Structure 1
């Protein structure tokens, strides 16, 4: 698919889901190892829990008259994490396929009713999403992520999204792997409280680096797993890269990644306050239109974000 044909690039608002793993663990009381939600696909009970989770966000998109981008629960479904979880490569490949199949199934009624949905294959970092504990070269990252991108390219996924990237090199590697397989890709970096990536690189420099090394292949860029106030630290007025930032999936909490790692309870913040911060970022970033949540957020937060932000797109909402 030509990346330019993705419907969210037309500027109308698209919702995403919230904090998949934190919702399932802290709110639904499910137990799965290493934040690897794809392991739930092994049982009927787990598949039903995932389907219910996504159905709640589809209902929100229908209520607010927006499109929706849903990420497959495959953030941990890459070879290193799969090995730690006891998966063979064949088993891991089947899990990736099953995750996308679940999304196409659960979104079918939404599409039949005229809704616009994008199924995105989620690619997570090779290492820890909170720390730049691996510093791969671009070639190393491309070779590593090529396997999962290739599996997802053989499914009904409309695109892939590299979520919680901690270095520009790893984001570039995913983008190049997606390009090789002919898949549109979004690159989503995470930032620390100062607006810099965990690697220490400024967000704008990371976006510019990926674009320079891929001839601008990514359809767009995002930020996830950071509070809006942390993201604001990175936004230099008039910077040429700002128009490439189209998506935001923020945390409900202002905690740093280190504090989140040490936390033993969920900090779900204030949904209305979070939504107000999204409005401010939408005003500063005219291209921002893919809106959802990350750690600590659930349907309450995304509903508040949609309620506050969709009026900004009134002329584009169906």
Structure 2
């Protein structure tokens, strides 16, 4: 959409329209606003892509969250932008679809201008300029409005920070609960450079493990790179994800003027080869992609057999910045427990003395010594345990050598566990929940854990107390297992 809008040579007055005539800031460049002020332009561009052979068009709503729109002073227009963006895309699809060939509107939810895993301050790695709760609120408003406008599915895309994406998926799940129905979700991350990682440090496989709990229609990659540099990472997802895979790369890398030079024929040749090699189910283009590119890509994949979803073994999969899979031949999993105030006097003293940077060295030593999972516990009466958990997890996120392994959030207090869940980019472990307070509490906590995408340790407690025999342990845990599998 951005490439085509640049061709339109729109003026600031086009962006402003009558609705924002008195607005006190320059609105040029706020492309999403055009769904309200120049819907005719947006509809015409959608029509061009549909005529070229697109089956799915993305709403013009990449920055239409309250957080991102605040930079233009238009935060209060976020919901209206999303509704209008979905409605204009739906109208364009209605013009051309038929019973034999439906067309679909993907309601786009972008990354926002703020990141939950990365500090904007080089002097304070634990600082964040947005909270998980703020992201959930903003994403929820966007998702709800896109559906109200007529979106057929939701696309969380150009993900540079998986914790932001997890907030979006959490918000979407809440929206579905409130509406009483759900639509398909597409998830698409962005490998930012030749390192093969998202901006927040995750590999493609770790990214997939972190968001798989959302049970998406597809997982994929888009933006930043051209198809030549993206293929390896799409191949990683194709190998590890038992859902459809998608790819909409840029038309090459940007040139010195910010344009894109990869021709439609060259891009189609690359993506056609991916399809023939069984790597993808859904293909398209991102920055620099014109209707001519889409026409060439559509022709290149016509008649190609779609990728078959792999049948994968049901292993426990966790992730930090990197994936960690527990297989039958994995032997014991080494859990580093020195970052636990109840198990390490040294760590407890460092935390109580507010020496978090020194405490971080304890975590580094655990990883260097071979820990495959890092247990983090702040259950100390003199501590603000929620704040300590939040701060320490943010510091871990700033240290790739530590953050590469999964984290086990360890507490006897649910509020501390929940604070930890809001700070984990990867798929961690909650330690623990139990049936001690009854089935209703157990199920409520389990659903929150699942919605955050974490694994969980279940303790052998029930309403009568701790299991004191092998038979009681088996009975309690079998009961808990069936509830988790059948009811959550």
For the criterion TM > 0.5, the same-fold answer is yes
Q: Distance in 2 between matches of 1:113 and 1:77?
A: 32
Give 3-state SS (helix, strand or coil) of 1:188's partner.
Answer: strand
Verify the 8 A CA contact 1:175 1:217 in the aligned structure 2.
no
The one of 82, 103, 106 aligned to 1:117: 103
Aligned length: 275
Counterpart of 2:200? 199
- Among 298, 309, 314, the residue aligned to 2:301: 309
**Residue pair 2:139, 2:168 contacting (<8 A) in 1 also:** yes
- Give the match for residue 142 of structure 1: 136
**Corresponding position: 1:277 with 2:278:** no
| 2:4 maps to 1:30 | no
Deviation track 1:15-51 (CA, whole Å, cap 9, x = no partner) reads xxxxx112211x22235557532211333xx222111
Provide the TM-score with structure 1 as the length reference.
Answer: 0.77
Cα distance in 2 for partners of 1:95, 1:264 equals 30
Residue matched to 1:244: 243
Deviation at 1:245, TM superposition (A): 5.0
Which of the two has greater helix per residue? 1
Q: Which residue of 1 aligns with 2:68?
A: 81
Deviations 1:43-102 (A, max 9, x none): 3xx2221111111121122xxxxx61111101111112222222242x321121111111
Q: CA RMSD of the aligned region, Å?
A: 2.8
Query: 1:173-204 CA deviation, whole Å, 9 max, x = no partner?
Result: 21222122224321111112323212221111
What residue is the counterpart of 2:79 in the other structure?
A: 93
Shift of 1:301: 0.9
216, 219, 232: which is aligned to 1:218? 216
Corresponding position of 1:187: 187
TM-score w.r.t. the length of structure 2 is 0.51
CA distance in 1, matches of 2:260, 2:119: 25
Q: Which structure 2 segments of 5+ residues have no match?
A: 16-26, 121-127, 177-181, 307-488
Relative contact order: is structure 1 or structure 2 higher (C-alpha 8 Å, sep ≥ 6)?
1
- The structure with the largest alpha-carbon Rg is 2
Q: Which residue of 2 aligns with 1:17?
A: none
